[in-house]
Amino acid sequence: MKVERVISRVSLRRTIESGTEEQRRAVLEIIAAVRARGDEALKSYTEKFDGVRLDSLRVTDEEIETAYQHVSEEALRIIREAAENIRDYHERQKKESWITAKEDGTMLGQKITPLDAVGLYVPGGTAAYPSSVLMNVIPAQVAGVKRIVITSPPNKNGTLPAGVLVAANELGVKEIYKVGGAQAIAALAYGTETIRPVDKIFGPGNIYVALAKREVFGQVAIDMIAGPSEIVVLADETANANEIAADLLSQAEHDERASAILVTPSMKLALAVASEVEKQLETLPRKAIAASALKNYGAIYVTETLAEAVEVVNELAPEHLEVMTAEPMQLLGQIRHAGAIFLGRFSSEPVGDYFAGPNHVLPTNGTARFSSGLSVDEFVKKSSIIFYSEPALKRNVEKIAAFARLEGLEAHARAVEERFKK
């Protein structure tokens, strides 16, 4: 990894893939075909892109039972315990409806209502992560969403990964479909004979999935257009170089466009980490992917002071931030921009990915400056409640009417004045 002194502004921003015009046209064609031909189009595209012809799109009880045979008892216990931790954390995020009354009889409030139906897209292949099923489904359940749908591209044998099916079944999700790509997003947005439409779509995918989510936005809501994973480690001279190197590699192995950065005021630590990364990289199974990520999006920034290092971190606004300093809690109040903050040497980033409880679906590409990780809030909507009493309206009618006329809306003014005509 390259080690450099910070002499100018730094950024994590990478170009968000918007696709080529050819890819966008292909996505529009797929969406139109699914809207016109429904299930038949889904099966046709599944055969074309995934190499399997399906008789039925829906996962059967038999397939779920078979999946359990491929998941060890230990793995099942871990999934269940992780689910308990995630549920406990998200239960604390729940908000209640509220209403307040004034002396004049006016009542104002807010009604919290869960979405009716949500869809979770689970990528296929090596990116089929049971942890993502837990992280998306559990907050939806805590919010009170009644219908949760999972779609995922099938393997060559026409099944879904065992871990995904087991995780979904452990949470009680029964509506699971073997369909992926842009066609799955179209089905979730517009519906087919088999798949009823949802209100909001969650989950990452390839460029075709990302483009499809953009195209259907407005018909349905979407969570975000997810970017490559990233980690920033903020460390001082007390940190362990081997631990930092391991944590940087934990994100670099995700994707060739993943970013892994160390920010430190210690040149000695910086050089030690650079050496340790090269050493650990040699034995990493996903060495080629991690090496490419580090070459293009990895860096070690050396600052003059720890305070300057904190400011660099806030400029980067990372998805994952590890604070590995002598007194990490003392820096918490100074951290303004980060998707998730891991404090201390025993809070390695994978703790949050799998087990601690907070959600691992987080803002990337510097968007932690203005957005938050996935939470229960993403699965509810809020309605204002207004009950104005006669005395309250009578006291304010002239002001409301005047405001309406200020904007040139006479009918608005007359609407409130009508209540008090003799």
DSSP reduced 3-state for 76: helix
For residue 225, what pLDDT band results from cuts at 50, 70 and 90? confident
DSSP reduced 3-state for 384: strand
Burial track 227-245 (b if 16+ CB lie within 10 A, e otherwise): bbbbbbbbbbeebebebbb
- In this prediction, residue 19 carries a pLDDT of 79
Provide the whole-model pTM: 0.92
Residue 125 pLDDT more than 90? no
* Dist CA 283 CA 274 (whole Å): 16
Share of the chain above pLDDT 90, in %: 90
Mean pLDDT of 110-118: 98
Encoded amino acid at 305, one letter: T
Higher local confidence (pLDDT), 13 or 218: 218
Residue 221 pLDDT more than 90? yes
Annotated binding residues, written as ranges, equal: 121, 183, 206, 229, 251, 254, 320, 353, 407, 412
Annotated binding residues for NAD(+), written as ranges, equal: 121, 183, 206
Dump pLDDT digits (tens) for 342-358: 999 999 999 999 999 99
For residue 67, what are the contacts with CB-CB under 8 A and spacing of at least 6?
159, 160, 162, 163, 165, 166, 169
Encoded amino acid at 312, one letter: V
- In this prediction, residue 188 carries a pLDDT of 98
Share of the chain above pLDDT 70, in %: 97
| pLDDT, averaged across the chain | 95
For residue 129, what pLDDT band results from cuts at 50, 70 and 90? confident
Dump pLDDT digits (tens) for 133-142: 999 999 999 9
Annotated binding residues for Zn(2+), written as ranges, equal: 251, 254, 353, 412
DSSP code, position 58:
B
What DSSP assignment string belongs to 77-126? HHHHHHHHHHHHHHHTT----EEEE-TTS-EEEEEEEE-SEEEEE---GG
Within its chain, how far is the Cα of 307 from the centroid? Answer: 30
For residue 339, what are the contacts with CB-CB under 8 A and spacing of at least 6?
318, 319, 320, 321, 362, 363, 364, 368, 372, 373
Burial track 380-407 (b if 16+ CB lie within 10 A, e otherwise): beeeeeeebeeebeeeebeebbeebeee
For residue 8, what pLDDT band results from cuts at 50, 70 and 90? low
Dump pLDDT digits (tens) for 271-314: 999 999 999 999 999 999 999 999 999 999 999 999 999 999 99
Annotated binding residues for substrate, written as ranges, equal: 229, 251, 254, 320, 353, 407, 412
CB 413, CB 405: distance < 8 Å: yes
Q: Domains in the chain, please, with CATH? A: 2-16+228-355 (3.40.50.1980), 21-222 (3.40.50.1980), 388-420 (no CATH)
Mean pLDDT of 123-151: 91
Residue 126 pLDDT more than 70? no
Question: How far from each other are the two terminal CA atoms of the chain, in whole angstroms?
Answer: 81
DSSP reduced 3-state for 325: coil
Mean pLDDT of 124-153: 91
Mean pLDDT of 303-330: 97
Strands 175-177 and 230-235: unpaired
Encoded amino acid at 266, one letter: S
Encoded amino acid at 199, one letter: D
Catalytic center residues: 319-320
Residue 101 pLDDT more than 90? yes
Strands (E), 216-281: 221-222, 230-235, 259-264
